[in-house]
Amino acid sequence: MKTQDLDFGYTSAHARKNADAVLPDIQCWPNQYKRDYNIKIELPEFTSVCPKTGLPDFGVITIEYIPNELCLELKSLKYYLLEYRDMGIFMENIANKILDDVVKACHPKCAKVTGTFTPRGGLRSVIVASYDEKEGYGK
């Protein structure tokens, strides 16, 4: 049997699971500076659950953005990120969903979410999702 002939049993339901989950709102506060500056937020102990196996996933989530009128409020962001702890969701969906929710909350000039996940079976996954207000997603 060739590797490409293997059926690992993943379905589109697995792939979409919780990608559209409604999570707590991320609060914001008014930016006090008109000049561009970078904000980098790291959560070094991020956890979620694989939607197929139910096994935990561990990683580091890094949110980088240039604020426009609003800045992310960290306490609400922490509570938002804690919602992923028991959620079955693929790593790729995590980075993209967090980016969508950050953009929805604070409308930054640009933003990038990087998920660096602990190796599983010797493979480390690094997912990067980005947004630019002039170009939209996928800059």
Q: Which has the closest alpha carbon to 63: 92, 35, 38?
A: 38
Task: Respond yes or no: is residue 106 known to be catalytic.
Answer: no
Catalytic residue among 28, 57, 106, 110, which? 57
Catalytic residue among 7, 25, 36, 50, which? 50
Q: Calculate the alpha carbon distances from 134 to 107, 110, 111, 130, 131 in Å.
A: 12, 9, 12, 12, 9
DSSP of 109-123, one letter per residue?
SEEEEEEEEEEETTE
Task: Respond yes or no: is residue 50 known to be catalytic.
Answer: yes
- Distance CA(68)–CA(76), nearest Å, equals 19
Query: If 0-12 CB within 10 Å is exposed, 13-18 middle and 19+ buried, where does residue 113 land?
Result: buried
Residues tagged active-site: 50, 57
